[in-house]
Structure 1
Amino acid sequence: MAVSAAEQLTIVQNRARNVGELFYDRVNASGPREAFRYPDADENWHSMTWSETGDKVTRIAAGLVALGVEPEQRVAIASGTRIEWILSDLATNAAGAATTTVYPSTVTADVVYILSDSDSRVVFAEDDLQVAKLREGRAELPQVTKVIAYEGETDGDWVISLDDLIAMGEKYLSDHPDVVRQRVAATEPDSLATLIYTSGTTGRPKGVRLAHDGWTYEGAAVAAPGLLSIDDLEFRWLPMAHSFGKVLLTTQLAVGFACAVDGRVPKIVDNLAVVKPTFMGAAPRIFEKAYGRVVGMMEEEGGPKLKLFHWAERVGLQVSRLTRAGKPVPAPLKVQHAIADKLVFSKVRARFGGRVRFFISGAAALSPDIAEWFHAAGILVLEGYGLTESSAGSFVNLPDDFKIGTVGKPFPGTEVKVAADGEVMIKGPGVMRGYHNLETESASALTDDGWLATGDIGELDADGFLRITDRKKDLFKTSGGKYIAPSHIEGRFKAVCPLASQMIVHGNERQYCSALITLEPDAVEGWAEHHGMAGKSYTEIVSSPAMQEQIAKDIEELNAKLNPWETIKKWAVLDHDLTIESGEITPSMKVKRRVVEERYADVLQGFYAGS
């Protein structure tokens, strides 16, 4: 049943005052229902009800109070996505404190910077590796009074276990039984809830100050249209250190569905088969890899199977386009589609567990070509948009109201306008309270009347859907005066080339565009087995004449889809893929464009030598 715009706005306006209240309201409403599933070291999955979650969060929160944590003081979490991360975050907010997020891949120097800048007093650390970073930087972290380790060695003094903290909380509650309830009651909507340090594609990370009111708004705004129900099951692997992960958590609190939690990226496919979720949030890279793997496998198979696959693709795209245009599907095409679905598309859906109603894509731009391919296969990918500075979500497509190639309409309660230069401006409860300790940067991002300058170029269509063109700072102009949106070209390439991992388009003030390309290691390995190069190194394979010929064909196909001034005239395949560890992509899988261009400046310069 559709929820009217007025009803959605009422839901949003009547939201909880803070995250702690939102959480305990859910515990009271759904006590015996399943809240979370999580795996143990032996890959056995365990379940936790809302009541059990409430009890554990209360004890952890009381333990933090026993450690002397005061309202709005910062408690950091240096860990990958796991059930303990979620319990620690909820407990921190229940204690009236604010969570500082630290990606587990963050190097020691940046960990020390984040903890110092945020003035974090207590740190939850995933394992010995994270604790080692803290020990290494301890001399510069005098304010960190305690480290709570999820696993690994403890010393009973500076480093204690989560069980130790829970025991402290139980003891404190015996003398102060109402302490957590009192902390929740005293937390104002405008109180600091989270300090998220943007992983940043340039420079040092900035701490984004996000209030309780922003998170309760996000949960209510996603819940309001009836997108999800209490009977849904989410699989959550996204980094909880990223704002997208936090939005999924507050949405879960608002709706009450259960969630299976495991942040190990290599286990995603296996976990989907076990969990069989009804929806999942993901970054575009996951869809690109899945698309590349399916298409790549079919192309290597060749013969009748490849012909059947391409036939099914054509049929699926015809049905998808007719359906999205609101036109009837002719009876003969319906019959063909039923056959294509049984023989091909049902197998694609089975890779995701077979029960997915839709995926939600965010954190970066999704190629419209890939989104359309998934829709043709009977898998709806709903693209959304927002920034850490807007508590992640500000726009989203809905199952009954979506347009591929857009990021949807604004959340109820969020306003949008497009500035004269095309920059998207956002205003609403989710907008940050500024950057931590950075008044000048805050003033440049926020107007006096509360509008957030997103840094993205976009346009609104007649129906209110927003289309993002590119990052304002990434747009460039060729020496011929033509503007280029690199992410548009890069997205189209990933749809053309199933082997692709990344493409970085270059050409500012140059006569033409060029590109650096990296390939997906797993896809390269599969390709090599069918081209007489099994067992050879990644570098040998990608530099081979056969691979260069393959990429040349893909570039030719890409160029046929582009305007003449956008076409890629020269390109090179790098001898390795970009990684978080190398500092070339962020933990949220965004390419650090400037880092890559500086690192391969000689290659790029070679494209234009003598021209």
Structure 2
Amino acid sequence: MADESQKQTSIHCLFYWAEKTPDKVYLTQPFSDGSTEDITWKQAADQVLRMATYLNGLGIPERSNIAILGKNSAHWILSDLAIWAAGHVSVPLYPTLNGDTAAYILEHSEAKLLFLGKMDGKADGWNDIRDHIPADLPIVSLPMSPRDDTPKWVEIIEQNEPAEPKLPDPDDMSTIVYTSGSTGRPKGVMHSFRTMIAAAHGLQQIFPVSNEERMLSYLPLAHVAERAAVETQSLYYGFHLYFANSLDTFQEDLQRAKPTLFFSVPRLWMKFYLAINSKLPPKKQKILFNLPVLNKLVKKKVLKQLGLDHCRAALTGAAPLSADIIGWYRNLGLELLEVYGMSENFGYSHANRPGQARVGTVGVTNPGVEHRLAEGEEVQVRSPSQMLGYYKNEEKTREDITEDGFLKTGDMGEIDAEGYLRITGRVKDLFKTSKGKYVVPVPIENRFNHPKAEVVCVAGANQPQPCLMILLSEEARADLDAGGSRDELEKELAQELDAVNRECEGHEKLAFAVVVKEPWTMENGMLTPTMKIKRNVLEDFYNRRMDDWFAQKKKVVWEF
């Protein structure tokens, strides 16, 4: 009989729920033709064990590294589980990688096989990656794979009987997660089954989660945030997981899932906010939200339009989100909670608790986590989900882990008397002006809030003063392309710039704002897969224009 003590690792959890709730749907996968596939816990376990039989028959050495490449899908997770059930280690690759980086990871990890999933070459890197996959690397194609000349998941499942699972020891290495870092080659972060499941185990002590929850999986499963918040939690708690079909159907996918828990990143929370503003301007919102009778109905309608009217708690992480935007969501009735973590601690570090959130902070330490501030206000964390180290890079491991076991996060922070942590920026993001003064960009960026600005970046290393680069929202760019007037928008941006500067010290005051032409995307290398700006890439790209922009002596400069 299934009991809680059996949930030692994620693969143990699969068999726990397959026995306890065999006919309950675990995974719902939509397809481009409008159809969906439901996979129950029993079916999931059966498919995983049949694939494990196939893997066992290939003669791959024990504890080999096996790669997974593709957008999120039901079979991405089933592949992860099959790798573990066959006694191997999973190595996820971001679908938006360029070919050179994908080739590096496959070589560095010594991958013995590749599970190739949902890719189409449109909003991913397949067109570049496909020519960089080693010709002798065995491939298994998942449903929606771009390759039809390899063994296919569906056929393999039909042709093999279920294997006896090789249930791992919790301290066995489970996965190597390659960082999405903005500089240099990605590092392979090694995690064990114990470090992964510790995140789920700790969550149950601070937040009530049941097997009746629903979540939508759409952020890259190759990143620890989605792996921890969505995959691991769904396996631990046994709840229903839905997937998004495409960006065009995202709203429809959300409406299908009706998530009770929702995790997103600041760039997307900002996009949702801007989309609502384009339909219900802020001035009208202010009036409607203050009407005694109508305000609750209007707010509920907005949440329903977002697909979040069933959501009882939502998380934001991976990068800072403006306190004003968090406040806007909380005013709607959505308890948006900032959380904090890194690849190196499987995202398990800090969180705001329901009913106890302090907007602008990432909350307090999770159960079992310790934190402290070191020299230069760098945040250091010791977590039960801390990595085993960097794969084939002991020197970097020794550099990033202190002698007493704390991870050097590279983030700067402040800890208040109640233990709430506020992230104030990245140590490496600090830059000096030509006057020799240091500027910390993140707090300044967080103060700039305009309903048509999707994302901003403070730059200006070795310049007299910092400046601000603004990427307008898609709606605002489309309006300008259609002949909309710049004058009113320029006036508003200038006013917002003045408001920000009033709160800045002299050396931090922004000389001007630049409205940039080129969208910042993962595809052009300006965003990481979790949609954080690659500050060094942006600075390199725009540096050649700086002298010209300063020479214009305007408050708002247009690049187009």
Q: Same fold (TM over 0.5)?
A: yes
One-letter code aligned to 2:252: D
Contact map agreement 2:469 2:516 (CA 8 A) in 1: yes
> After superposition, where does 1:80-95 map in structure 2 within 5 Å?
80-95=71-86
| Partner of residue 228 from structure 1, selected from 191, 202, 209 | 209
Contact map agreement 1:387 1:393 (CA 8 A) in 2: yes
Match of 2:257 in 1: 275
Q: C-alpha displacement at 1:15, in angstroms?
A: 8.1
The CA distance in 1 between the partners of 2:339 and 2:160, in whole Å, is 39
One-letter code aligned to 1:210: H
Match of 2:380 in 1: 425
One-letter code aligned to 1:34: V
> After superposition, where does 1:400-419 map in structure 2 within 5 Å?
400-419=355-374
Match of 2:112 in 1: 121
Secondary structure of 1:384's match? strand
Match of 2:286 in 1: 310
Secondary structure of 2:375's match? coil
One-letter code aligned to 1:345: K
Match of 1:160 in 2: 151
Contact map agreement 2:267 2:455 (CA 8 A) in 1: no
2:171 pairs with 1:195: no
Secondary structure of 1:454's match? strand
2:100 pairs with 1:146: no
From the superposition, tell whether residues 566 and 55 of structure 1 become closer, same or farther in structure 2 (CA, over 3 Å): same
Contact map agreement 1:470 1:488 (CA 8 A) in 2: yes
Contact map agreement 1:121 1:146 (CA 8 A) in 2: no
Match of 1:237 in 2: 218
The CA distance in 2 between the partners of 1:34 and 1:163, in whole Å, is 19
From the superposition, tell whether residues 51 and 524 of structure 1 become closer, same or farther in structure 2 (CA, over 3 Å): same
Q: Which runs of 4+ in 1 moved over 6 A?
A: none
Secondary structure of 2:468's match? strand
Match of 1:36 in 2: 27
From the superposition, tell whether residues 239 and 263 of structure 1 become closer, same or farther in structure 2 (CA, over 3 Å): farther
The CA distance in 2 between the partners of 1:434 and 1:141, in whole Å, is 30
| Partner of residue 294 from structure 1, selected from 266, 276, 279 | 276
Aligned length: 545
Higher percent of residues as helix: 1
Q: C-alpha displacement at 1:510, in angstroms?
A: 3.8
Match of 1:524 in 2: 477
> After superposition, where does 1:18-417 map in structure 2 within 5 Å?
18-126=9-117, 127=119, 136-138=131-133, 140=134, 142=136, 144-152=137-145, 159-170=150-161, 173=162, 177-178=163-164, 180=165, 183-184=166-167, 187-247=168-228, 248-262=230-244, 264-299=246-281, 307-312=283-288, 315=290, 336-342=291-297, 344-353=298-307, 354-417=309-372
Contact map agreement 2:96 2:523 (CA 8 A) in 1: yes
One-letter code aligned to 1:208: V
Contact map agreement 2:140 2:153 (CA 8 A) in 1: no
Match of 1:441 in 2: 396
| Partner of residue 463 from structure 1, selected from 407, 413, 418 | 418
One-letter code aligned to 2:545: V
From the superposition, tell whether residues 85 and 337 of structure 1 become closer, same or farther in structure 2 (CA, over 3 Å): farther
Contact map agreement 1:501 1:577 (CA 8 A) in 2: no
2:532 pairs with 1:577: no
Match of 2:547 in 1: 605
Secondary structure of 1:351's match? helix
Q: C-alpha displacement at 1:309, in angstroms?
A: 1.8
Secondary structure of 1:402's match? coil
From the superposition, tell whether residues 227 and 459 of structure 1 become closer, same or farther in structure 2 (CA, over 3 Å): farther
The CA distance in 1 between the partners of 2:363 and 2:61, in whole Å, is 40
**Gaps spanning 5+ residues in structure 2: where?**
554-560
Residues 319-357 of structure 1: per-residue CA shift (max 9 Å, x gap): xxxxxxxxxxxxxxxxx5553222x31221112332111
* RMSD between superposed Cα atoms in Å: 2.6
Deviates more, 1:31-40 or 1:388-397: 31-40
Contact map agreement 2:49 2:85 (CA 8 A) in 1: yes
Match of 2:556 in 1: none
From the superposition, tell whether residues 227 and 472 of structure 1 become closer, same or farther in structure 2 (CA, over 3 Å): farther
Residues 390-415 of structure 1: per-residue CA shift (max 9 Å, x gap): 11221111212211111112221111
One-letter code aligned to 2:201: A
One-letter code aligned to 2:493: I
From the superposition, tell whether residues 610 and 523 of structure 1 become closer, same or farther in structure 2 (CA, over 3 Å): closer
Contact map agreement 1:269 1:352 (CA 8 A) in 2: yes
Contact map agreement 1:61 1:169 (CA 8 A) in 2: no
From the superposition, tell whether residues 266 and 151 of structure 1 become closer, same or farther in structure 2 (CA, over 3 Å): closer
> Taking structure 2 as the reference length, what is the TM-score of the superposition?
0.90
The CA distance in 1 between the partners of 2:370 and 2:314, in whole Å, is 25
Q: C-alpha displacement at 1:420, in angstroms?
A: 3.0
Secondary structure of 2:353's match? coil
Q: C-alpha displacement at 1:573, in angstroms?
A: 1.2
> Taking structure 1 as the reference length, what is the TM-score of the superposition?
0.83
The CA distance in 2 between the partners of 1:263 and 1:473, in whole Å, is 37
The CA distance in 2 between the partners of 1:491 and 1:389, in whole Å, is 25
One-letter code aligned to 2:143: Y
Q: C-alpha displacement at 1:26, in angstroms?
A: 2.8
Q: Report sequence identity in percent.
A: 30
Residues 423-456 of structure 1: per-residue CA shift (max 9 Å, x gap): 1111122111111122221111112332110000
Contact map agreement 2:340 2:351 (CA 8 A) in 1: yes
Q: C-alpha displacement at 1:113, in angstroms?
A: 0.6
Deviates more, 1:53-62 or 1:208-217: 53-62
One-letter code aligned to 1:575: K
One-letter code aligned to 2:141: I
Match of 1:331 in 2: none
From the superposition, tell whether residues 59 and 347 of structure 1 become closer, same or farther in structure 2 (CA, over 3 Å): same
One-letter code aligned to 2:280: M
Secondary structure of 2:198's match? helix
From the superposition, tell whether residues 604 and 77 of structure 1 become closer, same or farther in structure 2 (CA, over 3 Å): same
The CA distance in 1 between the partners of 2:217 and 2:44, in whole Å, is 17
From the superposition, tell whether residues 364 and 471 of structure 1 become closer, same or farther in structure 2 (CA, over 3 Å): same
2:498 pairs with 1:556: yes
Residues 331-389 of structure 1: per-residue CA shift (max 9 Å, x gap): xxxxx5553222x3122111233211121111111111100111111111111000011
Match of 2:457 in 1: 504
